[in-house]
Structure formats: C-alpha cells, structure tokens
Amino acid sequence: MNLLNKIGLGTVQFGLKYGISNTAGVTPLNEISKILKYCAKKKINILDTAFGYGESEFKLGKNNLESFKIVSKFLPPTTTKLNIEQQLMKSLTDLDQNSLYGYLAHRPLDVCENREQWEELNRLKTIGLIKKIGFSFNDPRELKDILKKKMIPDLIQVPYNFFDNRFDTFFLELKEKYNCEIHTRSVFLQGLFFMNCNQLHSFFEPVKAEIQQIQKLGSSLPSALLKYALNNKNIDCVVLGINSFTQLKANIEGIENAQILTRPKNIKFNQEILTPSKWPNA
C-alpha cells in the first residue's frame, strides 16, 4: 500500500496557535489553500478538524473540499452553549458540507456518563448527517470504559508516536471484533521531538536523552517519525498536523528514504509526558 494514502491532514493549526514548537502561529488562508491543493494532488484525502479549533472549519470551507473525507469533533454540551446537533450543523455550515465522514466526541467520558449523547450521535448517523461516529481518546482507560458501556465506535482517534504506543494493544481487537477504523495523531508529540533539550522545562528531564538520541537523524527526523506510524498495519490514517506548505512537502517527500525506526521494547515513559494537556506552560 502507498503510505501516502494513510496520511490525514490535521488542521488545528489553521485555527489556533498549537504545538510546543509552533513559532509560526496560525496558518493563513492562502497557505491553507496551497496545502489543500497539494494534498488533493497526492491523494491525501482525510481532513481532521473540530468545532473547538477556532476558525479552522470556517477557513477550510472557503476551499473546494470535494476530494476529502472530513472528520470533525464536538465538545461536551455543558461546556458550550450548543448541543451536539447544533455544533454539527455549525460545522457543516462553516465547512460548506451536507454531511461528514466522521464525527467524534472530544471528551469521551462525558458521553460515557451521559448515554443520551451516544443515542443522539446514532440518530444523526441514521438520518445521514454522519457516516461514522466515535471518539477521540487521550487515555486507554477512556477506551476501556466506552467498550464496557457497549458504545462501539465506527472510528476512533488516538495518540500514537515513537514514544507513545499505549493504544497499540487494542488495535487488533478493535479492527477484528468491531471493524473499527483507527486514526492516530500526535506523530510529532506536538513538536517535542524537535525541541532543543537545553531549552526544555525540567518536567521533560526523563526523556531528554531519548530525544537527543533520535535527533541525530537531523533533517530526516520528521519523515522517519511519520514513517514509524504509517508502517503500523493496524493504523488506517495518521493525522499529520501542519503549519505550512513547505513543512508538509518536506515531510512527505522524505518518507520513502527515511530510516525505519525501531522502538526499544523495554522503553517506558511517564504518562504525563505523553499527554500534552498535562505539560507545564513554562
């Protein structure tokens, strides 16, 4: 299989200044158009976005999206003034679409505790506004809780990268037992792999040696990290967050000749280091 066909375009940077190594800020509209045209040419056809990604969906909707499958996410109704259907309809309006390929809960445990949300997702799927429903997970315990409640997803999105393999043990069961489509994100761990270790917060001390080790790959590191995730046969789509066209082009063109990374089996990392929402602001 062509590895490029497994890449999805992450668009959080189109609406928010996102990522520990992001110094470019929010991606401008003209750059987004350039990125989308390149993706269409390369047969990269999954777009990952969300109601909570600032103006990301609105900016995407200013472009021709007919060649893309769009996956969006909703926030817990208690944290916004809009319920699930209202969030979906706003996303569809902003994206200039009649339906979405996937619609995921940004906070799975909120759905787990409020089953009516799961029933609402199924209703929206039944009437044709969504093809696949599911969850965006941060922690394997969330997935376990969802499966216990018999809320079987059509599609999930989880973090997966050279450091973070926590969900790997679930992939085969999800695919064989539930025919679940698996998307992964955080292939660069929000850019942590590229940071100057001397400038990192002491919080990251336990992984500085490992980061410095893989940084010996130099400019080929992004493509090698991307290839690592793409080579997992149980992953259907690797969502790649992009700031610029130049960045996207370099990462993709380097895949073929990138080194194949082998993760030491005995490597273990602090869960907090693997979860960007728990990182210090400093």
Q: What is the CATH number of the domain that holds 17?
A: 3.20.20.100
Residue showing tokens 């470019």: 24
What b-and-e string marks burial along 57-67, b requiring 16 or more CB atoms within 10 Å of the CB? Answer: bbbbbebebee
Given this model, what pLDDT does residue 25 score?
75
What Cα–Cα distance (Å) separates residue 86 from each residue in 37, 153, 154, 213, 271?
A: 30, 21, 22, 47, 34
Q: Sort 189 into a burial class: Cβ within 10 Å, 0-12 / 13-18 / 19+.
A: buried
Contact between 105 and 135 under an 8 Å Cβ cutoff? The reply is yes
Given this model, what pLDDT does residue 21 score?
46
* Parent domain of 177: 3-278
* Residue 95, CA atoms < 13 Å, CB-side half-sphere: 28
pLDDT above 70: residue 56 = yes
- Predicted TM-score (pTM) of the model is 0.94
Summarised one tens digit per residue, pLDDT across range 185-235 is 999 998 899 999 999 999 999 999 999 999 999 999 999 999 999 999 999
Beta bridge partners of 135: 105, 156
Given this model, what pLDDT does residue 139 score?
94
Given this model, what pLDDT does residue 131 score?
98
Given this model, what pLDDT does residue 190 score?
87
- Torsion angle, alpha carbons of 37, 241, 237, 83, to 10: -100
DSSP secondary structure letter of residue 27: P
What Cα–Cα distance (Å) separates residue 121 from each residue in 45, 72, 73, 80, 100?
A: 24, 13, 11, 17, 12
In the chain, the number of structural domains is: 1
Q: How far apart are CA 11 and CA 60, in angstroms?
A: 9
DSSP secondary structure letter of residue 81: S
pLDDT above 60: residue 282 = no
What value, to the nearest 5°, has the Cα angle with vertex 62 and ends 61 and 67?
Answer: 60
Confidence of residue 268 (pLDDT cuts 50, 70, 90): confident
DSSP secondary structure letter of residue 111: H
Helix axes 29-41, 245-253, angle to 10 degrees: 20
Contact between 151 and 119 under an 8 Å Cβ cutoff? The reply is no
Contact between 103 and 117 under an 8 Å Cβ cutoff? The reply is no
What Cα–Cα distance (Å) separates residue 36 from each residue in 19, 22, 60, 188, 256?
A: 21, 20, 9, 21, 21
What b-and-e string marks burial along 149-168, b requiring 16 or more CB atoms within 10 Å of the CB? Answer: eebebbbbbbbbbbbbbbbb
Q: How far apart are CA 150 and CA 13, in angstroms?
A: 34
The pair of three-digit structure tokens given for residue 196, joined into one six-digit string? 């100057």
